Structure 1
Amino acid sequence: MLGSRVADALSGTFGVGALNAGAFTKPQQVLDVNDVEQTIVQAGLGDCLTIALMSTTELWIWMQGMDAGTQPFQKLLDDAPVALNLNTLDDKLSEFYEKVARQTVTWWKDAKERVTVSPPEAIVQHDLWLYLLGAYADRAKVKQEVKIGNGRADLIFTPDHNSDSSAVFELKVTRDCHTPQPGTTTPTKIGLNDNVKWAVSGVQQTHAYRDQEKLDGAFLCVYDFCAGNRPEIEKAVQNAAIQLNVIGRRYWITASNEEHRKDRFPLLAPATSAPPAVNGDGTATALPGSIVQPTTPSAPSSNKP
């Protein structure tokens, strides 16, 4: 979509290009957001990367297409200087987690049973690669599956200017079960210890890739699809990563909207109301923050008729 304001010279022109679908154009003017979405659906491009030029200074990018239900991220086209260091890249990983990873559509084959798509690491890696390209293609090269002396790095980030930071990103996926192969229906369970070992194995890999390529930073990104948001994987990764100056990050992937709400907006424990204690003189002891009305001691009972 080129131009969202009537003042823009190309306002109303609509065009979509996709790696697997060639290109699509609509010569008629699209009038509003609903018209844009309907046009994309009619073209069968709802699951394709979608980029909208909202003005001369701003792009909106849907990495997984509009059908995924994720929020687009905004790419500013102005010339304002932005520091591109390891903190910036760390923030971008958090942004990717919030806007792309926390959804139940594209990374789950059966979210209710916590069965991921297959192969999960390759799909997560592809989405992160696109996200980093969308954010920094004008300032850096982002390459996948780079063969180096110590193996094959998932993502290598190489900036165009020496003042910016370079980095390697190694991705690991932990999950409760393997995705069933075609012709089978029962998932194979994966134990917690196996998941911990798999996640921690990425620390040495990331460290070796960084030192081999003489990069500035090393990020180990663990995308955890396991139920319960348990702390064991993150603790193990952090303990190993700190020894080799690797930046270890674990991102828990929720499997439902309810799980997301409980994680981000937990309910407070209901307050318990206990009756106030009564002193020997018949008065009540006030609980912190409570107001107790004074009581008048009752007259002693008499056994006399």
Structure 2
Amino acid sequence: MKNFLGVGRNTDLPDDVRFLTSVTQLIRKRIDQGEVSEQSPAIFFLHPQPLDLSGSRETSQVWMLDNGLRGVSGRMWFVNKTASNGTAVHLDPDEDDEQLLQLAVNELEAGHVPAVVFDARTPTPETRYYPEGLANADNFRFIKVFGNLITLEEVFVVIDRLYEQQLCTPNVQQKAMALWEKADKHFTSSKAEDLIQGVLRAGLTGHFPGCDVKAEQPQASGRLDIEIEEASPFDRSQITRHVVLELKVLRDFGSTGASVSDRENDDWTRSGVEQAATYRDERGTRLAALCCFDMRVEYTGDSCFDNVRDLAARLSVELRSWHIFASSKAYRRAKVS
């Protein structure tokens, strides 16, 4: 049952991520219950405030919506971030999809909040996520509710996006998660690993909302950084452990300015490969990767792995690195070189 937890699940993640994962878990339950419908789609909005529709539409207040026992199609659902309670706006079956869009954006004024559309009319039910709301109907992505094995390339595509949007330079890093103690001197924050882990966990959870993205899992050989696992919607005791990610930050200087030698960084990457392989084997996970975030002065690409390539190949651990720059100028210089 742990994959279907409600309020206590992912409490440290942003509200929009919690909304997406909670609605996805609800949809998994409805598909498991066999929800196939000729009615209008189910449209979920992150909008927990009460609605004042002045009697223009039939509505109902729903408690424990997240238990999955209630059909959801043919309604617009205004829910909280855990999709545990909400208001249902009943839809006219004669209204087409364009009319539903106008209803959401214009009449209900819900076009600018995150939305999930679940359509059970199609031969295979479809789920779409609109992060900016239905007013920007062209900005959506299909949600993989369940069923396919996750690849490391899919994971790396997500990390590439997160790197560009939130990690690569101080300009894109949020003030609350500054990775540099003193960027002009290349003094790295003592919390850099934890901060990067938080960004990755939130981003991967948002991209794979049918999965559970866990951090700091304790076991006999240590604590693994990130694991992506998925419970079967048909037998919840069956868990597919897709990916283990070991995260390492490479430095020239610590937070107080103490030098970090090349030998120490080499030892760090070797340890990362060994940890990734060990955690994968202990957990019975399909895939393992070492992800290095290189905060050293010189940009050297993937040469940080030169000392561990043979070891990683022997242990079947994928290697990938991202360089975190201390300034936008250094980032631009590396791009053009």
- Determine if the TM-score, normalized by the shorter chain, exceeds 0.5: yes
Give the equivalent residue in structure 1 for 2:33: none
User: Could you tell me which of 108, 124, 135 is aligned with 2:207?
Assistant: 135
TM-score (norm 1): 0.59
Task: State whether structure 2 residue 302 is matched by structure 1 residue 237.
Answer: no
CA displacement at 1:165 relative to structure 2:
6.3
Secondary structure at 1:166's aligned position in 2?
strand
User: Could you tell me which of 53, 67, 81 is aligned with 2:114?
Assistant: 53
CA contact (8 A) 2:217 2:224 kept: yes
Give the equivalent residue in structure 2 for 1:156: 227
- The correspondence of residues 54-73 of structure 1 with structure 2, limited to 5 A, is 56=117, 57-60=128-131
Give the equivalent residue in structure 2 for 1:120: 192
CA displacement at 1:119 relative to structure 2:
1.8
Give the equivalent residue in structure 1 for 2:141: 76
- Identity, in percent, stands at 23
**Whole-angstrom CA distance in 2 between matches of 1:214 and 1:10:** 36
Tell me: higher relative CO, structure 1 or 2? Use CA pairs within 8 A at least 6 residues apart: 2
CA 1:264–1:10 in structure 2 vs 1: closer, same or farther (change >3 Å)? same
Give the equivalent residue in structure 1 for 2:155: 89
RMSD of aligned C-alpha atoms? 3.4
User: Could you tell me which of 246, 255, 268 is aligned with 2:317?
Assistant: 246
Aligned length: 209
Q: Deviations over 1:16-39 (max 9, x none)?
A: x99xxxxxxxxxxxxxxxxxxxxx
- Computing the radius of gyration from Cα coordinates, the structure with the larger value is 1
CA 1:78–1:124 in structure 2 vs 1: closer, same or farther (change >3 Å)? closer
CA displacement at 1:60 relative to structure 2:
3.3
CA 1:155–1:55 in structure 2 vs 1: closer, same or farther (change >3 Å)? closer
Letter in 1 for 2:320: R
Residue ranges of structure 1 left out of the alignment (5+ in a row): 3-8, 19-50, 62-73, 181-186, 267-305
Give the equivalent residue in structure 1 for 2:165: 99
CA displacement at 1:147 relative to structure 2:
1.1
CA 1:169–1:79 in structure 2 vs 1: closer, same or farther (change >3 Å)? closer
**Whole-angstrom CA distance in 1 between matches of 2:158 and 2:44:** 31
Letter in 2 for 1:58: Y
**Whole-angstrom CA distance in 2 between matches of 1:258 and 1:14:** 43
- The correspondence of residues 1-305 of structure 1 with structure 2, limited to 5 A, is 52-53=113-114, 56=117, 57-60=128-131, 76=141, 84-104=150-170, 105=173, 106-137=178-209, 139-161=210-232, 166-180=242-256, 187-230=257-300, 232-266=303-337
**Whole-angstrom CA distance in 1 between matches of 2:115 and 2:328:** 30
**Whole-angstrom CA distance in 1 between matches of 2:116 and 2:243:** 32
Deviation >3 Å, runs of 4+: 54-61, 77-83, 161-165
- Tell me which protein shows more helix as a share of its residues: 2
Q: Deviations over 1:73-110 (max 9, x none)?
A: x7635579876323322322222222222121332222
Residue ranges of structure 2 left out of the alignment (5+ in a row): 1-14, 17-42, 50-79, 82-111, 118-127, 133-138, 233-237
